[in-house]
Structure 1
Amino acid sequence: MPLAPLVRRLVPAHRAVLAVTALVAIAAGLLGSGLEKHLSYGGYTSDSFASVRAERLLAERFGAGSPNLILVVRADTDLAGPAAATAGRTLVARVTRTPGVVSVQSPWTTGDPALRADDSRTGLVLVRLGGDEDTVHHTAQHLVPRLTGRQGPLHVEATGAARVNQEVERRSAEDLTRAELLAAPLTLLILLIAFGSLTTAALPVLVGVVSVTGTLAVLRLLTGFTPVSVFAMNLTTALGFGLAVDYSLFVVTRYREELARGRDITEAIVVSLRTAGRTVAFSALTVMLSLAALLVFPLYFLRSLAYAGIAVVALSAVATVLVMPPLLALAGRRIDRFDPFARLRRRTGGGLWRRLALGVMRRPVAVGAAASVVLIALAIPFTQAKFGLMDDRVLPRDSPAQLAADTVRREFADAGTSPVVITVSGLAPSREAADLTDYARRLSRLAHTERVDTAVGSFAAGRRVGPPREGFRTGADAWLSLRSTAAPDSPAAERQVRAVRALAAPGTVLVGGDAATLADTKDVLADRLPWAVLIIASSMLVLLFLFSGSVVIPVKQLVLNLLSLTASFGAMVFVFQEGRLKWLVGDFVHTGRLELTVPLLMFCVAFGLAMDYSVFLLARIREEYAATADNTRAVAFGMERSGRLITAAALIVATVLGAMATSELAVLKLLGVGLALAVLVDATIVRGLLVPAAMRLLGHRNWWAPRPLRALHARLGLKDE
């Protein structure tokens, strides 16, 4: 249904519509309650990874695999003492009997010296929990509380991926509540300062609240069809609230303009939705398509955020179009009530932004070059980016799981908790022992290999150094454990994995372990990244052409949007990888690495938000250019009409997303700070300086298109009027 007829139906029945909206919001809130119980943990790997298939084969055929639950056990005196040994074996027996436990290794049952610290009082129990990530999570929820704490003469702490996910679940829910309590009043304050009127400030916030409750319901429904990452709740509620407030703000501002022109209430609402409302719908489409680029990656962490983000952005736009007209009808001409600055604004308008635009356009080359140099300089640190996978260090320093993991790293460097595991299938029956021996010898000679354990013995530097290991062979299948001197997230470990995969083997080989998972993740992201970029670039070019009728403006906006991301990408390395200026965002554990998927997520979200503001500014510029054919005047008019509005909108989104910086989880801090910085840079340096400079330099060429495309735009182009 076209917007104008829809609005004319909503306005007369505005009280009934608002009553229905309230009921729907309450129902959505009830549906979304307890959402965190249905969210998934992990999603950073794919079943297509060779490393994942190797781990699955280890669990199914050998009851082995890399531990995902690690118990750090401390004895009062000595682990080998009678009391501690008895308690330890009892503990191991309890773990082994628990449904879902695949394997258990301990200093009392294996005799492995690597599981005992030098002080003889501290040891490790390595537990492999079976099933998918959600099954592992639920098993750990049942198991960990019964095992940790005081256990007779032992004190037990837990860490590992399963335990870390428990901590992430609890802290992300706490973070969400804290961020919402911080963002909502700050948003209202920004609106009050920017627009003076309490009514003007309150209406967008009300739509934002409706959007958040709807977001929780959308996420709950999505969990019935696809796994949804636990981080989706934090990111998408912030995104939904911020965009709903922004979209509503654009409509409210246009409504005030139309009232000032003498229109009656109904007509002012209709015109506002026909102009700003259509721009909102188009803007939401650009953000949704930018998020859709995440769907090309086979990691459900990214895919679930794409599904959730697309649904939430659509919900924000729909909430604006359906809820704002009844709210405006209810407010009527009281929209400026309690606004002491209304008369002053009517006299001065957006004079500051107009003067800024005219000043920039008098020296477009100097201003544009200076701004570009600054942004490119801010991006330089990203050239030194190093990447890894999320681990316990995403948690704060005082987290029990993080403290226990620090103990493992400090006191059990040789524990082999993250070995390179190699499965070999299809061994020749007559040559099993000889082939395995030859293969293990060659593996042990690879750089950074400390030892290779196999069913035919342990090998180091090409020589047998230990007896055969039990449970390492069944039928024509076998597995090998390669202990590496390289950290799993280091370039040396990645090179070692690639060397293992390139080595001739006696059967079909799959290589697993943390280092192999990191290599597989890098490979698949690098392979799919060009497709994601193609989706974003092509969709933005097409949409901006349909919106503007120009082939120049879409290309220019793509370049400017990329520049708006530079500061946030540089800050990722400067603050979160290198740990500088940490005090600005709160303390966190910096590892010297960035979580591999976060830059991709930030790129898609931030690019969509930058395009969002491009559309709103371009809409006002195009409106004036169509009326006057004066490019300079059109740019000044667009800045005058939308400068303050875009700044307030950007501050709101930056506040809502930046509230995630209060999170105790480093990955949410990174997302919040990076996205907030990208939005602020885009609204100030890019929209305030680079856009008017570029528009002035190109002049009337901004609006050029070949004749066939002009004809196409005449038939298919999107128009506000």
Structure 2
Amino acid sequence: MERFSRFVLAKRRAIAALWVVLLLGGGWASSVLSKHLNQSFTIAGTPSAAASDALVAQYHVGGGLDPLVPVFVLPPGVTPEAARAKLEPALAAVPGRVVDYYNSGNRAFLGADGRTMFALVFTPAVNDQVKDAKVQTDAARVLPRRLAAAAPAGTQVHVTGITPLSSNGNGGGNGVLAEALLGAAGALIVLAFVFGSFLALLPLMIAAVSILSSYLVVLLLSEFMKVQAVVQYMVGLIGLGVAIDYSLLLVTRWREEVAHGADNETAVHRAMATAGRAVLVSGLTVALGLLSLIVVPIQFMRSIGIGGMLIPVVSVAVTLTLLPIALTGFGRRLDWPRLRHEDKPSRAWTAWARWVVRHRWIAAGLALLVLVPLAVAALGIHEGDPTTDSLAKSGDARQGLVALRTADIPSGVLNPYVVLTPPNTSGSQVTVSAISHGLYAAIAVTTPPPGTEKTPTTRWPMTVILPSDEAATSQGQHIAKLTRTEFEHAVPGTLVASSALANIDNIHKMYGQFPLLLAVLAILTFLVLARTFRSLLLPAKAVLANLLSVAAAYGGMVLIWQDGHGSHAIWGIPATGGIPFWIPMIVFAFLYGLSMDYEVFILSRMREEFDAGARTDDAVVVGLGRTGRLVTSAALILFLAFAALASAPSTFLKIFATGLGIGILLDATVVRALLVPALVSLFGRWNWVLPAWAARLLRVEPSP
């Protein structure tokens, strides 16, 4: 690394100019990037996806979305039959495919009070999830006024459904740029406390160059493959935390060398040889964690893995090239008024490390007392979309949901199953099978779409099944799976489109390769860390500690969101009953890589002290004394970035940000400040052993 730093300083003008060009190009790319990203989370190749595609092909509706549900609460004395003359033509004129009391004659569309009535509106679709969702969102906005104008005077009209509930009543929210700025403001406060000088501005400069350059690279990548839109959030917020982490470590080590009497350039070379090496290894482990997503046989997950991998790679490149140039050029001038000094380890962290070493069994026990119960709670995770109660707190969609329940109409009607049976088969077989499950209703859709009555058609007959339980619940998913199985047995070739079944199929496809992902990632991480630390025990412990940390983060999501022990108190949102299927996978990839940052930062310094002749316990004390403040500060910066993401209006993003935030805080405090130093102290000299045979395989010097 020292040779590399000499090369960087020798070519400083060309390298600085290159990053200025990339910064300007990234600024332009950030303004157009969102137009080039893929918004869809659709997973192709599943039975539910085939059913959804068939529904779009034959009826031009659905698109994988649950229908809109207009709800009418008629005034006292007015029955649905009395309102038929006004409401029937109004519903028939709604674009898409409408199934209601008037065209089906099924009294399941009427509430127990005799005055509440609902309908199902399957909106037009073109098999593009983003366009289909926009069509449905626009329809949910205009339908209440249009239907209210046609309804009898005094009728309450609401339009509910999964899409309007997901976007309604959650406030305006912030864009990704505003959230990144919020995270940057919090980072500046933390950095000012860490450095006590204007050096706090340097990590933010490195973060700005890293983020904007990453946007440019992602834009170029989008020309060759579909890149999921969530990558834009990852670059803005995760990039902010990672780039600051790396520059924080390097700048702190540079200050330490300067405090020990080194001149500016020598201090840069020494910092690169030590902290720079840790940054390189750390960036590699983060990149491996994200790149491991390519093992998952799903296009959008692979694009997240490849796009996400660019963040640490670019951040490492900027940190190891532009930051040494900045430190050499104006580092000393920025290091004013120098309220903090790096000539000695942190007194508070040194005292804490001594306590951990003296009471290592107690420290390890306390850490496990926190982590193990959370990991056990993770075993109860239910992968499913949030329940309707957790999607919207107010608004028209919420009022429609309340009106349904008041009339004893189950909320499961928002997640109907659409059954397509092959031509010339008996639809009654499907209906009888559905009713045998005790579902709310089964409606055979016999009327053709408006304008196609005289058009010859080979459409498969369509039956709509109304379940009692929502697709988000375990019972709802169980009934959906059982119902599909019986339909397929009753009428071979039957297709069933359902959000509950889509969730089941997506989970199976996404997590079918999860054991392989774990194995590949664990082996690669072990090899990288074994070569870095020249040890077999340290990397094995690091992998196990990381897995325990991720499991604890899952447990936190389960308790806070799925069970509601925190979601209502913090955000005013009831228990979701489930965690969206894509969140655990992405949280795993992020946390496994990001938390390894702290492992590398701490253990690299401990290894350095041990190699310099320190006893294991002394290496633990000095290593934690030197890096403890950095790790907690870096974790706090990342936590602030995730807190900014949690301010987004979407419940899905709140859950995602919570999982990441919990994981980072647990890892930086319980794992790295308690468990890791306690275990290193417990294992003593065994931490540093690398047999000759292993050293030959890894191509490093053996450790006795």
TM-score range, shorter chain: 0.7 to 0.9
Q: Is the 8 A contact 2:176 2:233 kept in 1?
A: yes
Q: Deviations over 1:443-478 (max 9, x none)?
A: 543x33344445899xxxxxxxxxxxx99x976954
Q: Is the 8 A contact 1:73 1:124 kept in 2?
A: yes
Q: Is the 8 A contact 1:448 1:486 kept in 2?
A: no
Q: Distance in 2 between matches of 1:6 and 1:22?
A: 21
Q: Deviations over 1:8-31 (max 9, x none)?
A: 354366567546534432321222
CA deviation after TM superposition for structure 1 residue 201, in Å: 0.8
Kindly tell me the number of residue pairs found equivalent between the two proteins: 684
Change (3 A) 1:6 1:285: same
Q: 1:449 aligns with which of 430, 439, 452?
A: 439
Q: 2:31 aligns with which of 33, 40, 45?
A: 33
Tell me what 1:367 maps to. Answer: 363
Q: Is the 8 A contact 2:606 2:622 kept in 1?
A: yes
Give the 5 Å matches for 1:497-646. 497-503=480-486, 504-582=489-567, 585-628=570-613, 630-646=615-631
Question: What's the secondary structure of 2:308's corresponding residue?
Answer: helix
Give the 5 Å matches for 1:625-704. 625-628=610-613, 630-704=615-689
Change (3 A) 1:107 1:300: farther
Segment of structure 1 superposing worse, 410-419 or 592-601: 410-419
Q: 1:104 aligns with which of 88, 98, 108?
A: 98
Question: What's the secondary structure of 1:421's corresponding residue?
Answer: strand
Q: Is the 8 A contact 1:577 1:593 kept in 2?
A: yes
CA deviation after TM superposition for structure 1 residue 689, in Å: 1.7
Segment of structure 1 superposing worse, 222-231 or 77-86: 77-86
CA deviation after TM superposition for structure 1 residue 53, in Å: 0.6
Q: Distance in 1 between matches of 2:633 and 2:172?
A: 30
CA deviation after TM superposition for structure 1 residue 221, in Å: 4.0
Tell me what 1:127 maps to. Answer: 122
Indicate the structure with greater strand content: 1
Q: Distance in 1 between matches of 2:687 and 2:550?
A: 23
Question: What's the secondary structure of 2:513's corresponding residue?
Answer: helix
2:48 paired with 1:54: no
Q: Is the 8 A contact 2:168 2:394 kept in 1?
A: no
CA deviation after TM superposition for structure 1 residue 125, in Å: 4.6
CA deviation after TM superposition for structure 1 residue 156, in Å: 6.1
Tell me what 1:387 maps to. Answer: 383
TM-score calculated relative to the size of structure 1: 0.84
Tell me what 1:488 maps to. Answer: 471
Q: Is the 8 A contact 2:443 2:465 kept in 1?
A: yes
Which amino acid in structure 1 is aligned with residue 304 of structure 2?
A: L
Question: What's the secondary structure of 1:11's corresponding residue?
Answer: helix
Which amino acid in structure 2 is aligned with residue 670 of structure 1?
A: I
Q: Distance in 1 between matches of 2:434 and 2:163?
A: 30
Q: Distance in 1 between matches of 2:229 and 2:329?
A: 38
Which amino acid in structure 2 is aligned with residue 61 of structure 1?
A: Q
Q: Is the 8 A contact 1:251 1:273 kept in 2?
A: yes
Change (3 A) 1:116 1:517: same
Q: Distance in 1 between matches of 2:578 and 2:14?
A: 54
Segment of structure 1 superposing worse, 412-421 or 251-260: 412-421
Q: Is the 8 A contact 1:661 1:669 kept in 2?
A: yes
Give the 5 Å matches for 1:155-554. 158-160=159-161, 163=164, 171=172, 174-198=174-198, 200-300=199-299, 302-342=301-341, 345-346=342-343, 348-389=344-385, 395-398=391-394, 400-405=396-401, 407=403, 411=407, 412-413=409-410, 416-425=413-422, 432-433=425-426, 437-438=428-429, 440-445=431-436, 447-454=437-444, 477-503=460-486, 504-554=489-539
Give the 5 Å matches for 1:58-77. 58-63=55-60, 68-72=66-70, 74=72
Q: Deviations over 1:491-549 (max 9, x none)?
A: 33333344345443442233331222222123224422212211221121111112122
Change (3 A) 1:535 1:568: same
Q: Distance in 2 between matches of 1:233 and 1:441?
A: 48
Tell me what 1:463 maps to. Answer: none
Q: Is the 8 A contact 2:168 2:392 kept in 1?
A: no
Structure 1 portions without partners, runs of 5+: 458-469
Q: Is the 8 A contact 1:579 1:590 kept in 2?
A: yes
Q: Deviations over 1:203-225 (max 9, x none)?
A: 00111122232344344444444
Q: Deviations over 1:92-129 (max 9, x none)?
A: 43x43xxxx4x333455444444455463654351233
Which amino acid in structure 2 is aligned with residue 256 of structure 1?
A: R
Q: Deviations over 1:254-297 (max 9, x none)?
A: 21122233333223223322332232121111111112233333
Q: Distance in 2 between matches of 1:414 and 1:357?
A: 54
Q: Distance in 1 between matches of 2:508 and 2:420?
A: 21
Q: Distance in 2 between matches of 1:396 and 1:145?
A: 15
Q: Distance in 2 between matches of 1:621 and 1:422?
A: 62
TM-score calculated relative to the size of structure 2: 0.86
Change (3 A) 1:438 1:299: same
CA deviation after TM superposition for structure 1 residue 558, in Å: 1.6
Which amino acid in structure 2 is aligned with residue 176 of structure 1?
A: V
CA deviation after TM superposition for structure 1 residue 63, in Å: 5.0
CA deviation after TM superposition for structure 1 residue 614, in Å: 0.5
Q: Distance in 2 between matches of 1:210 and 1:456?
A: 60
Q: Distance in 2 between matches of 1:76 and 1:126?
A: 19
Q: Distance in 2 between matches of 1:104 and 1:18?
A: 61
2:697 paired with 1:712: yes
Q: Is the 8 A contact 1:585 1:669 kept in 2?
A: no
Q: Is the 8 A contact 1:46 1:299 kept in 2?
A: yes
Q: Distance in 2 between matches of 1:443 and 1:158?
A: 27
Q: Distance in 2 between matches of 1:357 and 1:564?
A: 20
Structure 2 portions without partners, runs of 5+: 448-452
Segment of structure 1 superposing worse, 79-88 or 309-318: 79-88
Identity %: 27
Q: Is the 8 A contact 1:116 1:124 kept in 2?
A: no
Q: Distance in 1 between matches of 2:348 and 2:443?
A: 72
Change (3 A) 1:673 1:516: closer
Segment of structure 1 superposing worse, 666-675 or 448-457: 448-457
Q: Deviations over 1:562-596 (max 9, x none)?
A: 33335432321222122223466322243322222
CA deviation after TM superposition for structure 1 residue 170, in Å: 9.4
Q: Distance in 1 between matches of 2:214 and 2:159?
A: 34
Question: What's the secondary structure of 2:612's corresponding residue?
Answer: helix
CA deviation after TM superposition for structure 1 residue 84, in Å: 8.0
Question: What's the secondary structure of 2:576's corresponding residue?
Answer: coil
Q: Distance in 1 between matches of 2:363 and 2:581?
A: 35
Change (3 A) 1:58 1:396: closer
Question: What's the secondary structure of 2:577's corresponding residue?
Answer: coil
Question: What's the secondary structure of 1:656's corresponding residue?
Answer: helix
Q: Distance in 2 between matches of 1:440 and 1:122?
A: 22
Tell me what 1:460 maps to. Answer: none
Change (3 A) 1:90 1:486: closer
Which amino acid in structure 2 is aligned with residue 249 of structure 1?
A: L
Question: What's the secondary structure of 1:576's corresponding residue?
Answer: helix
